[in-house]
């Protein structure tokens, strides 16, 4: 199998709990908290592990929170390499209101990285032995990191023969596309934000995705259409992939599980159509699990078998 490295520039400890009612200006007595390692690339590595694969997770790590992140990743058996930084890694809070089933998610901004620190993160990508065949750069950028950071990774990938997968939003994604990447997985709103106005209906979105591919900005575009499935556009053509209907328990981690399934399948030598189909199955499997549990291998493989190739 080809090698996979994930990079999470803004990792987090995801601290989750629940309470019967969320009421302002009252002390709320919550259940015992649960702690999990989080952040885009870390979740991709966790999902790859759950799907039976292996990757190396790289991430900046600082302070006691950084040490906790390392402990949590060790507990899950994830291959990882922390990159020391001065400021503390962040902690996010997720609270489930039991009476309504609503989830409140509080995301913190993350540490401020100085230039020496974020440049060290870039250098670490290619330091693994063997060097990566796939680089997954996923999640938000913390303060201090330039907006063209993912574009720099795309340039590194091209220089060293690695396929770069970018899963982020806004200007960092736009700049990465300008440099040229292998695969992106935006949802429909994120894709509209990239390509601008005039992409309101699906046929127009399809044409804009084809243009992204033909312009050399990206080889594979997989756009999540929500309940309508996933639109796959590549040089090989266009497909619509529709997952089976499943009970939705939690959508947390579905996107990261989809990326994990796609990249793992590609690393195993499968073609793009099969890889995206397995990614869709993995993302669908994730919504069947509670909280941020991500996907289960048996669910992903069963759903994959149920999915007929798109017309």
Token duo for residue 241: 């992939």
- Would you state the pLDDT for residue 283? 95
- pLDDT for 199 equals 60
Number of C-beta neighbours around residue 260 at 10 A = 34
In terms of Cα–Cα distance, which of 46, 39, 3, 73 is closest to 167?
A: 39
- E runs forming strands in 63-205: 80-84, 90-97, 102-106, 134-138, 163-167, 181-184
pLDDT at residue 309, as a whole number:
63
CA distances in angstroms from 230 to 6, 157, 206, listed in the order given? 23, 26, 11
Task: Read off the tokens for 226.
Answer: 């929500």
Q: Given this model, what pLDDT does residue 292 score?
A: 80
* pTM score: 0.95
**Cβ neighbours for 142, distance < 8 A, ≥ 6 positions apart:** 9, 10, 60, 90, 109, 110, 111, 112, 113
Mean pLDDT in runs of 10 for the chain (311 residues)? 97 95 96 95 98 98 98 98 98 94 91 98 91 97 98 97 98 98 95 79 90 97 89 95 90 94 98 96 94 92 83 46
> What is the 3 state secondary structure string of 149-167?
HHHHHHHHHHHHCCEEEEE
Q: Is 256 an annotated catalytic residue? A: yes
Pairing of strands 102-106, 134-138: unpaired
Check residue 308 and give its pLDDT.
61
| One-character DSSP codes across 222-257 | EEE-GGG-EEEEETTEEEEE-PPP---S--TTHHHH
* Helical packing angle, 202-214 and 188-195, nearest 10°: 60
pLDDT of residue 198: 63
Contact 170, 186 (CB under 8 A): no
Sheet of 230-234: strands edge to edge?
A: 80-84, 56-61, 4-7, 134-138, 163-167, 181-184, 218-224, 230-234, 237-241
First to last CA, the chain: 29
Nearest of 122, 183, 132 to residue 161 by alpha carbon:
132
From the list 14, 133, 256, 299, the catalytic residue is 256
For the domain covering 4-10+40-88+112-306, report its CATH number. Answer: 3.40.1190.20
Closest CA to 116 of 171, 60, 168, 175: 60
């Amino acid at each position: 199998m080809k090698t996979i490295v994930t990079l999470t520039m803004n990792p987090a400890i995801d601290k989750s709990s629940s309470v019967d009612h969320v009421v302002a200006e009252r002390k709320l007595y919550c259940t015992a908290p649960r702690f999990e390692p989080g952040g885009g690339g870390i979740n991709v590595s966790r999902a790859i592990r759950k799907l039976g694969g292996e990757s190396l997770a790289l991430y900046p790590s600082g302070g006691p929170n950084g040490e906790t992140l390392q402990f949590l990743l060790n507990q899950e058996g994830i291959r990882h390499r922390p990159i020391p930084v001065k400021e503390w890694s962040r902690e996010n809070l997720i609270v489930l209101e039991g009476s309504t089933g609503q989830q409140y998610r509080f995301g913190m901004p993350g540490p401020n990285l100085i230039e020496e620190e974020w440049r060290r993160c870039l250098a670490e990508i290619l330091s693994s032995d063997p060097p990566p065949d796939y680089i997954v750069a996923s999640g938000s950028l913390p303060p201090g990191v330039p907006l063209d950071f993912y574009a720099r990774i795309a340039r590194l990938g091209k220089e060293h023969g690695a396929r770069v997968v970018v899963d982020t939003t806004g200007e960092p994604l736009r700049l990465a596309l300008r440099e040229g990447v292998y695969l992106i997985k935006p949802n429909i709103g994120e894709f509209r934000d990239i390509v601008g106005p005039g992409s309101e209906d699906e046929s127009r979105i399809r044409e804009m995705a084809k243009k992204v591919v033909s312009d050399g900005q990206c080889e594979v575009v997989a756009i999540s259409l929500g309940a309508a499935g996933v639109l796959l556009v590549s040089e090989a053509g266009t497909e619509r992939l529709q997952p089976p209907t499943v009970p939705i328990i939690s959508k947390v981690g579905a996107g990261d599980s989809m990326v994990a399934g796609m990249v793992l399948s590609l690393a195993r030598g499968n073609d793009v159509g099969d890889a995206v189909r397995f990614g869709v199955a993995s993302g669908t499997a994730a919504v069947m699990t509670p909280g941020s549990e991500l996907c289960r291998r048996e669910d992903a493989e069963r759903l994959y078998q149920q999915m007929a190739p798109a017309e």
